[in-house]
Amino acid sequence: ARLRAYFYRWNPQDLSRNIVIKKDDVFTILRKPVASSTDCARPLRGFRNGRHCWQVHWASPTGSEAVLGVATKNAILHASNYIPLLGRDDQGWGWHLKTGKLRHEGKDVGPYPRDDTNGQAQPAYKPGDDIRVILDMDQGILSFERGSNFLGVAFEDLPTDEELYPCFSAVYGNSEITFIYLGPPIDG
């Protein structure tokens, strides 16, 4: 599994200037402690078709503007100030881990994960949770799992004619984010 993941590891040429890949772990990046900055990273490969799954582990506090999801190759990787950068424009779709909102085109587009009883977001992500991201490029669907719990469909209108990359945005200094590509999701 790690050999397959190696081919999808973080791309050293596709990182914000405030992010470095850990020297002893090509699957983990470290956000430098830089004030008033939001930073993103993408891996070596994106997806044009098929179903894909990867795991993300945020080993430290997320800070106020942590967003996890997918982006095109054209998505911006750095911004001044603390903002939810992933989902800021039409190039990214993300789950804001602190607010429990989905982000696209600079707007909150709904609560996530949704509570079927009242339509509000369920309790948000907690630091240390393992998140699995499930992308179906054939159907244009993005979903998440926390631990062994499927959280539901987040987006179901992703473009199927563009390459999408796993992506995140972070503001917290010394954040460590590990990305492991798992392959096709296992249904059941």
Q: Which DSSP string corresponds to 52-102?
A: EEEEEEE-S---TT-EEEEE-TTS--EEESS---TTSSTTEEEEETTTTEE
- pLDDT value at residue 168: 93
pLDDT score for 124: 64
Rounded Cα distance between 142 and 155, Å, is 5
Tally of CB atoms within 10 A around 23 = 8
Question: Over the chain, what is the mean pLDDT?
Answer: 92
| Residues 94-145 pLDDT 10s | 999 989 999 999 999 999 987 766 666 566 677 788 999 999 999 999 999 9
pLDDT tops 70 at residue 60:
yes
Q: Does residue 35 surpass a pLDDT of 70? A: yes
Is the pLDDT at 177 greater than 80? The verdict is yes
Taking a C-beta distance cutoff of 8 angstroms, is the pair 113, 92 a contact? no
Above 80 in pLDDT, residue 79? yes
The proportion of the chain whose per-residue pLDDT surpasses 90, expressed as a percent, equals 80
pTM of the model: 0.93
The CA distance from 41 to 107, in Å, is 21
**Minimum mean pLDDT range among 24-28, 35-39, 61-65, 68-72:** 61-65
Question: What tokens appear for 9 in the block?
Answer: 């590891």
Residue with the two structure tokens 């062994």: 148
